[in-house]
Every structure is written in C-alpha cells, then in structure tokens.
Amino acid sequence: MDRKELEQKVAEYNRLLHEYGHAYYVLDQPTVPDHVYDKMLHELLAIEQEYPDLIYPDSPTQRVGGEILKGFNKVEHRYPMLSLGNAFSEADLKSFDERVRQSIGDNFSYVCELKIDGLAISLMYDNGLFVRGATRGNGSVGEDITENLKTVHSIPLRLKEPVTIEVRGECYMPKKSFTNLNKVRAEQGEELFANPRNAAAGSLRQLDPKIAAKRNLSTFIYAIGGSGEDYGLASHSDALDYLDQLGFNTNQERKRCQTIEEVFAYIQEWTEKRPNLIYEIDGIVVKVDRYDQQQELGNTVKAPRWSIAYKFPAEEVMTKVLDIDLTVGRTGVVTPTAILEPVQVAGTTVQRATLHNENIIHEKDIRIGDAVIIRKAGDIIPEVKQVLFDQRPEGLEPFTMPTHCPACGSELVRIDDEVALRCVNPSCFAQVAEGLSHFVSRNAMNIDGVGERVVSQLLREGLVKDVSDLYTLNKEELIALERMGEKSAQNLLDAIEASKKNSLERLLFGLGIRHVGAKAARLLAEEFESIDALMDATVEQLTAVFEIGDKMADSIVMYFEKEEVRELIERLRQLGVNVYYTGKKINTEEIDSVFNGKTIVLTGKLSQLNRSEAQKKIEELGGKVTGSVSKKTDLVIAGEDAGSKLTKAEQLGIEVWNEERLIEELS
C-alpha cells in the first residue's frame, strides 16, 4: 500500500469509527457489531504506531488512554460555572416561582431536566475539534482533565459542524458499571467507592488515562457556556436541540412546563421512575427557558436567579443488626454482610446490607445487636450509614473477623496489604462451589439445571471436585440426588453434553481467570483461536490484543503457568470439551434481515427461546438488543406477562411482535 492509499485508509477509518461510535454511545443505535468496531480500531492503532505523523488530533485511538500524567494543570473557565440554589420541598419551589413571576410576569416557560449525579465538566471546541476539558473546581478555576475525558466515548472528539464553542455537562458512571467496579475492587481487596458519583470523580482524576478508559463513563451535556444567543438561539430548549445537532449526548427526558403545577407533576413522575433509570439522579433542575428572561432575572454571586435544583430527600430508616454473615467468594475473599430486621427502604424490603470489609466494621463500630440507620448507597446497594450508640444495649462485644475460613477452616491471609481477607485454599468448598456455579452460568458454559442446590449436592456427595468432573457424571449418580428424577437427570446430562460444543470464549470466561470478563474472553478467543495458543502466549503477545492490559495479561500468564490448570485443560479436552474458537465473524453489510440495524427490546416470558438465545440470534442478524423502551426503539418482542415495557411501546406507537412472529422471522 503506497503512502496516498495509506492516508486515504486512515481518513476513512477515522470517519467510520466516529460514525459508529456516535451511533452506539450517543444514539444507542449501533450500526455494526462490537467486533467490527474493535477490529477497525485495532488496525488504525497499528497504522498510527508505525506512522505517528498520521495520527489525527481527533483519532478514536486517543480514547484508549495515553501516557501517565504528572499532575493536572489549573485552568480558568472562560465563563464562571455557577452552582444552583436548592429546593427541598414544594414550598421552596413555589417561593422560587413567585420570585420569578414578580420579576418577569407570567408569560414564560420552564424547562425541567433530570439532575444527573456525577461530576460537572466543561468542554472546549475550536473549529469543531475537542481541545480541552476541565472540572468545575471552584467555579472560576478547574483542573485540566482533557486526556481522561478523551476516553469517554459519548464525548465527540470532533463536532458535526466546525464551531468554536464551550459546553457544560455532567460526567457519570452508570449504575451497572458502578456495581461491577465495586465487585472487582472487593475481590481485589481494594477500597470501595461509596456511590457512582464518587466513582466517576475518582476515575476522571486518575493520573493514568488508561484507568479512566476502563471505567465505562458517560456524559450528558446540558448547556452552552456563556450565552446560546451567540449562536442565534433564543432559549435553553433551543440550545439543547442545537447540542443534539452538533453530536453531543443530551438527556432526552427533558420537558417544557408552563406552570409550577406541571413542574410538580414532572417531579412526581421521575420520583417514581427514578429506580428504573440506568444512571443515578439526585433531583430535578428547573430553568426559565428564554435567554432574554434569564438575563432579566440575572445571577447572585454564586447562583443564577433563573434556575433551581429540587433535591430528592434521602430515605434512611432505622433497623437492628441481627447477625453478621460471612461469605467466601470465587476468588477467596471473605465478605461480611449485616443480617437485619426486615425494613422498607426506597421501595424494597431490605434484610441484608453490605459491610464491605473488616475496616468498615471497625470504623463504624458495628456490633451484633446494634440499632442502626441504613440507606441505599446511590439508591443501589443497602449499607449501614451509622450506629445509634445511645440505643446500644449493654454488653455488646466488638465484632472481630475470624482468623480461619468459615467454609473450610484454612487460615485467612492478606495479600500485598489488601484490605480484604482471603482464603487461599484451592480446595475450599465455598470457592469450588462458587467456581462451579460460575462455570455453568448462562454467560459461561450455559449448563441449564445446575443451580446452587445441585452444585452443593454434587460437592457434598463427592461427585465433583472441579469443573471437569461435570463431564463424567452419569444418570445413576444424578438420580440418587435428592429431588432429582430420571427426566431431570437426563435433561441435565443433555445440557452438559451440549456445552462441549461451546466456542472457546465461553470456556475461557467459565474458568474464572482473574480480570477476564466475557468481552475479554471473546477478544482472546478471536485472537488466539485455540486454548493451546493462549496458554503459551507471552505478556507481550497478550497486551498486543486490543483492550488487554498489563494486569489482565499478567493474570492470564500466571493462571496458565500452574500445572494443575494445564492438567484441568487436558482433562476437559480428553472429555470432549471444545477448546477452539468457533464464533462467526459478522459483516452487517452482507446481512439481509429484518433485524439488521434495528434496536430491539425483549420483554415478558419467552416459552420457546430463553432470553439469551433470542438475543444471540437477533445480534447475529445485525440487531441490537437493549433493556429499555424509548423513542429510539424500533421493535418490541413481547412474551407472556409483558408489563410496563409493552405498555410504553404501545404508547409510543412502536411495533410489537409476539414470540411466534419472532421465531418465524428467525427461521
């Protein structure tokens, strides 16, 4: 390939990757499968490494994270980033409304928006190119976090129009990402983040942008710095539409309200819907819409008079600690959990609350028998906020963590000064049970019928000691188990037999290699194609795979260096388990399917297909399956007992199919 052809290829890859990224991260309407995007990005990265002069300033490769920073420079905001006044009740909002009406009369509208619980950011663009991103700081001076913000896929590196503009927004961590991040940190003995906002802020203030790149952050842009009138706009709602046009991700749940009563109705609606959002909100922002009226109302030293933030009340309740339970996870981490008197918190009955680790218990001095205040951290994870010491009964002893594993009796250890205690006995019953449950799970080997109860029975009866023993089970052994009939036993054996044909990525994920999730397993399987090639791979060969970092590579090499692991792989091979990648590489341009390019939601119970099977088949035909119904949804597949998602689809006029129609189109 000559130089001109190479330059054309780089330009085309940049253009396509920006289009694919915008469709996926902003519009939630993917146009190509993940592996197509990943492969193109990997090829572009390889070209740029060989020809650094071909790196575009807005190249999508810059999102993977660059060199470690020495620190953050201070930057002065062109326009101050004012904070908002708070309202905590309808009375506060009525007072705000009265002040507005006294100043500008009754001929105005409000715009109501969800108040995203994240970190406020400012983004600068020069002729459409992203040149700087900063934190709010003290409102006048913030920190330059440009390199970290480049890793956030919903932030466009180049706008759809060559404008010079400053915009304001909120960078946040989705609830699911927060839960997964804390789960990994707990397994690694690291301190947990208290809530998604802290996790987002901590991610953006990492000196290593590669860490921020792995945190799955997102953004909502909510304003133009200075005045939107500079761009010919008359109102805040016009500005939000213009930001959409430029390629930013704005929150589509905004609403224009004519009266304060309509504002109250909007607040009530989102108070009820709040638990179902995939991100955390802590209130509602109310703004006077027209810019001329905003200017007439003006600002105080710290806050605008034309806007206010209604803050949701934090729901905290009192209960009692009945016991502290200890569980041993798949990696050996011993996690304490408070067993509580059942109590209602944020609409659900809470009977357990995480205590994270021994340090948290000692810092809060939590004892069995204490009266405590609990809440849901970020409305997600129940936690003990504080102990009511004035109600503590006499004689309660401080809680101490055991020195030996509660499951197998082996001595517990701390590795590399981790906070967490670990059981390092590879034969520990609890760890083996967790490992087996993971191996048979739907996203791993997908062996239906091996639930928690069956796993415990198999281990107690000595029928399995590791995952390879699953493939030696016979019907007589299974029928002898409690509540296991002949038909159930045969179904289980059939599921075990079928799992032998799984592609390599399922086996890799099922083995539970530390740091290797489902996506990484697929990337490794696609790259190395056989488990033998992967077992012999060096750290350098592994890190050459897109998205495989040093920590994961080290973990993989250490895992396969163990003799017992290699023996396990050989046993699985001898028992007929496939150890090769058999996945299909999908090219959506060649797919002739009604699903191709469509966003689809599955709801209700499917009787002929399970949810994972249906999703896999749809994605193989170029469709994108998402979890919630919105205006962007093209099709809803409704099974039995379909609920609110079906109702919303009907309200929005979205096409709805039953399972029979789905199967007809899949066949």
Pairing state of beta strands 334-345 and 317-328?
A: antiparallel
Q: Which of 414, 454, 448, 406 is nearest to 433 (CA)?
A: 454
Q: Is 36 annotated as a binding residue?
A: yes
- If phi > 0 it is left, if psi is from -120 to 50 it is alpha, else beta; for residue 483 that is left
Q: Distance between CA atoms of 17 and 378, rounded to whole angstroms?
A: 34
Neighbours of 505 (CB within 10 A): 22
Q: Coil, strand, or helix at residue 638? A: strand
User: Is the separation of the CB atoms in 141 and 81 below 8 Å?
Assistant: no
Which of helix, strand or coil describes residue 224?
Answer: strand
* 115 annotated active-site: yes
Task: Please give the Cα distance from 476 to 463 (Å, whole number).
Answer: 12
20 annotated ligand binder: no
Is the separation of the CB atoms in 356 and 185 below 8 Å? no
Say how far apart CA 517 and CA 512 lie, in whole Å. Answer: 8
Nearest to 79 by CA among 298, 227, 220: 227
Q: Rounded distance, CA 452 to CA 300, Å?
A: 60
Buried residues in 119-151 as b, exposed as e (16+ CB within 10 A) = bbbbbbbeebbbebbbbbbeeeebbbbbbbbbb
DSSP per-residue letters across 430-446 = HHHHHHHHHHHSTTTT-
Q: What six digits make up the tokens of 244?
A: 């959409």
Going from the C-alpha of 558 to that of each of 399, 521, 538, the distances in angstroms are 36, 16, 10
Is 428 annotated as contributing to ligand binding? yes
Q: Let me know: does 250 contact 238? Beta carbons within 8 Å.
A: no
Q: Is 113 annotated as ligand-binding? A: yes
* CA–CA distance, 193 with 180 (Å, rounded to integer): 11
How many DSSP H helices and E strands does the chain contain? 24, 22
In single-letter form, the type of residue at position 247 comes to: G
Using CB atoms within 10 A of its CB, is residue 317 exposed (0-12), middle (13-18) or buried (19+)?
middle
- The burial of 525, by beta-carbon neighbours within 10 Å (0-12 exposed, 13-18 middle, 19 or more buried), is given as buried
Distance separating alpha carbons of residues 53 and 623, to the nearest angstrom: 37
Is 311 annotated to bind a ligand? Reply is yes
Q: Which two tokens stand for residue 218?
A: 């997102």
Q: State the DSSP code for 357.
A: S
Bridge-based pairing of strands 74-76 and 141-143 is: antiparallel
530 among annotated binding-site residues: no
Is 42 labeled as ligand-binding?
A: no
Q: Are 122 and 79 in contact (CB under 8 A)?
A: no
Tallying the residues shown for the chain, one arrives at 667
Residue 408 annotated as lining a ligand binding site: yes
Where helices occur in 286-391 by DSSP H, the ranges are: 291-297, 358-364
Is 171 among the annotated ligand-binding positions? no
37 is in an annotated binding site: yes
**C-alpha torsion sign, points 30, 35, 36, 41:** positive
Coil, helix or strand at residue 188: coil
Does the annotation list 302 as a binding residue?
no
Q: Is 257 annotated as a binding residue?
A: no
Of the candidates 205, 158, 173, the residue with the CA atom closest to the CA atom of residue 60? 158
The one catalytic residue in 115, 214, 598, 624 is 115
By the 10 Å C-beta count (0-12 exposed, 13-18 middle, 19+ buried), 222 is classed as buried
Residue 83 labeled ligand binder? yes
Beta strands in 504-634 (DSSP E): 599-603, 624-626
Known binding residue 423? Answer is yes
Separation of alpha carbons 572 and 500, rounded Å:
9
Known binding residues for NAD(+): 34-38, 83-84, 113, 136, 170, 287, 311
Q: Catalytic amino acids? A: 115
Known binding residues for Zn(2+): 405, 408, 423, 428
Known binding residues: 34-38, 83-84, 113, 136, 170, 287, 311, 405, 408, 423, 428
